[in-house]
Amino acid sequence: MTSEQPPTAKRVPHERTHHGDTVVDEYFWLQQKDDPDTVAYLEAENAFTTAATAHLEGLRETLFSEIKTRTKETDLSVPTRKGGFWYYTRTEAGKQYGIHCRVAAADGQTTPPDIGDGTALPGEEVLLDGNELAGDSEFFALGTFDLSVDGNLLAYSTDFSGDERFTLRVKDLRTGELLPDAVEDVFYGSAWAADGSTLFYTTVDEAWRPYRVWRHTIGTPSADDVVVHEEPDERFWVGVELTRSERFILIDLNSKVTSEVLVIPADAPTTPPVTIAPRRQGVEYSVEHHGHRFLILHNDGAEDFALSYTSVDNPGAWTTLIEHHPGTRLLQVDAFSGHLVVSLRRDGLTGIRVVPLHGAAPYDISFPEPIYSVGPEANLEYDTTSFRLHYVSLVTPDSIFDCNLDSGELTLRKQKPVLGDFDPARYEQYREWAIAEDGTRVPISIVAATGTPRDGSAPAVLYGYGSYEASMDPWFSIPRLSLLDRGVVFAVAHIRGGGEMGRRWYDEGKLLAKKNTFTDFVACAAHLVKAAWTSSDRLIARGGSAGGLLMGAVANLAPSDFAGIVAQVPFVDALNTILDPSLPLTVTEWEEWGNPLADPEVYAYMKSYTPYENLSDGMYPAILAVTSLNDTRVLFHEPAKWVARLRAQSPSTDVLLKTEMGAGHGGPSGRYDAWREEAFITAWILDKVGKAA
């Protein structure tokens, strides 16, 4: 075999039988990550992809250069006040990772320091330099970055492979010394007790489910750490956090549809945890501390959630604070000493409502653009009248505002710089609506260069996700400018299974209604063609993870509707994965997809749409599948098996597989590596729509 020929995966029949249905999986062997044959096959696929895209090398370099020259490489985030310091992250030209820093705050200083040209601030103290930590490693990520209440100690965790299994360490910021405390194989998140010497963290079970919360005392061996809570129900994940008031440690227990929260006083960290409200199947709630009460955001008799409270001293009955309003989905509540700030969504848009607690009327913060995304930024202080928020649209770069909670006045602290000749007036954004098979109106967000023809001649990219109630709200992208400036339209399909239109939108795209997700996306593609934004032979579909399942499903459902499909870390072998409870995440996913192991109806329904089981011998659009060897969330074998079977069944299909051999679910970790990855995908897209010249 040469790199100019598509690899041929060997076939090793493997039978499985469920509910009387026997199927043969000839590429089951690709699940063996450590098998030399598996590695050789992935490397052969990479070599073939390299050869097949060699003609795009110059374009890739051009695109990478465009991203790089539009990005302010040496830059600094808006500092955030916590105690006696202002905390921020900065980047330096030529370096892959951020540098975490702080400077001392003057007494009474409420306005963040001027960030100037984005270089180090006077009096800067470097807390962590990601570049030094990463060293020569191909991959690097932080899992937790957590300062003790007094600001003296920093707990942080690192991952050098992409498998999201971290090592926890503690740094004494007074001396710069790395303490001997170290814990292997921890998960995300941690919480400090008020004493500054007790740290809570979580670990995972064999299925990569965070199931234990531990208590560690600084200066003692990890072997002496105490299990504070162990969750036996395999549907539930555990998390741990400190309230903004710094009064309580929260232990969050969540399945896909049910919640339970335990609390520990931060000044008495060895106290047994107390339950706020026992779990009830189908009832979700989250907790925020506020003075004498715990605020509870919940869906008990409230599909789009309501806000209630209960006593701190004796948690029990809930008293309603904000009633349920169908169509207004309450997402989050942030509590401050004199105000509550509620994040919400309504009519497909996000919003922020301020609730003063001193008699003034609640108000919504207004924004001028027709489509946008807004939400809370880091707000570390409890006693404050300033609320920091993040605002962005398809044409407006990421912007950081401080809102005076008493007056509602917004102060722009920073808008992400876009270098070169960028002018937002050169682009236009639109909100349009497709009509789904069942008559449902599905929102689409669209951005294009001003003057883009509406005669069907423009190429387009349609992005989608549609799972887990995750909303693909409008976002700004510097790499996307390279598409828009070449006349490519970019659109986001806000399909069911996401949360854009409230909880019902999610419910109508999961379990035995999952196919709505796929048909909604096809309807959005048809709308773009009907509205003359593009034509089918110029339209590229793109999605990742569960959105990669979407890509595989629509490739089977409507192959002639697309010129190409980009599937990133795609969940395309979903049925086989959800049938195997030994795999990471499987049991926790049963409330999202159904349990095909126990329910023959779920089995039959999933088998009718999952991409790997429904490949045909017909022609497919060009496909680029991108994955990572160390991905824990969607294992690499899913796209590898999918591509192998697709190539065998439809040998004339233009299909490529690109595997990152040293990364995880998010792909390359360094920013320059990530830009090169995006340049690779963008070049492939431009090639398939005739814009590679």
- Is 18 inside a domain boundary? no
Please tell me the distance from the alpha carbon of residue 443 to that of residue 464, in angstroms, as a whole number.
12
Residue that is last in its domain, among 417, 447, 471: 417
- Is 613 inside a domain boundary? yes
For residues 436 and 521, membership in a common domain is answered with yes
For residues 125 and 270, membership in a common domain is answered with no
For residues 636 and 528, membership in a common domain is answered with yes
pLDDT given for residue 3 in this prediction: 65
For residues 216 and 330, membership in a common domain is answered with no
Q: What angle do CA 619, 621, 623 make, to 5 degrees?
A: 120
- Is 652 inside a domain boundary? yes
Radius of gyration of the chain (CA): 25
Burial of 138 (0-12, 13-18, 19+ CB in 10 A): middle
- Is 4 inside a domain boundary? no
- Pseudo-torsion of CA 403, 409, 412, 413, nearest 10°? -50
Please give the mean pLDDT across all residues of the chain.
96
For residues 325 and 398, membership in a common domain is answered with yes
For residues 363 and 457, membership in a common domain is answered with no
Residue that is last in its domain, among 105, 130, 155: 130
- Is 382 inside a domain boundary? yes
Tokens of 67: 């991203």
For residues 60 and 86, membership in a common domain is answered with no
Domain carrying residue 77:
73-130
- Is 13 inside a domain boundary? no
Burial of 21 (0-12, 13-18, 19+ CB in 10 A): exposed
Tokens of 617: 């011998």
- Is 21 inside a domain boundary? no
pLDDT tens for residues 239-265? Answer: 999 999 999 999 999 999 999 999 999
Mean pLDDT (whole number) for 404-411? 96
pLDDT tens for residues 149-166? Answer: 999 999 999 999 999 999
pLDDT tens for residues 70-124? Answer: 999 999 999 999 999 999 999 999 999 999 999 999 988 889 999 999 999 999 9
Tokens of 556: 């089977």
Reported confidence tier of residue 359, pLDDT bands at 50, 70, 90: confident
For residues 412 and 425, membership in a common domain is answered with no
pLDDT given for residue 613 in this prediction: 97
Dihedrals φ, ψ of 350, to 5°? -80, 160
Mean pLDDT (whole number) for 197-205? 97
pLDDT given for residue 583 in this prediction: 86
pLDDT tens for residues 280-309? Answer: 999 999 999 999 999 999 999 999 999 999
User: For a pLDDT cut of 90, what percent of the chain falls above it?
Assistant: 95
- Is 14 inside a domain boundary? no
Strand locations in 581-676 (E) = 622-628, 655-660
For residues 413 and 429, membership in a common domain is answered with no
Model pTM score: 0.96
Tell me how many domains the chain contains: 4
For residues 114 and 152, membership in a common domain is answered with no
For residues 116 and 187, membership in a common domain is answered with no
Instruction: Enumerate helices (H) and strands (E) in the chain, giving the number of each.
Output: 12, 38
For residues 112 and 252, membership in a common domain is answered with no
Residue that is last in its domain, among 283, 317, 350: 283
Residue 693 has pLDDT above 90, yes or no: no
pLDDT tens for residues 642-668? Answer: 999 999 999 999 999 999 998 888 888
Q: Any idea what the CATH number is for the domain that residue 331 is in?
A: 2.130.10.150
Tokens of 363: 């108000």
Tokens of 507: 């419910």
Q: Which of 171, 117, 116, 122 is nearest to 145 (CA)?
A: 171
User: For a pLDDT cut of 70, what percent of the chain falls above it?
Assistant: 100
> Which positions are catalytic?
545, 631, 665
pLDDT given for residue 1 in this prediction: 44
Please tell me the distance from the alpha carbon of residue 41 to that of residue 30, in angstroms, as a whole number.
9
Q: Any idea what the CATH number is for the domain that residue 616 is in?
A: 3.40.50.1820
Residue 2 has pLDDT above 70, yes or no: no
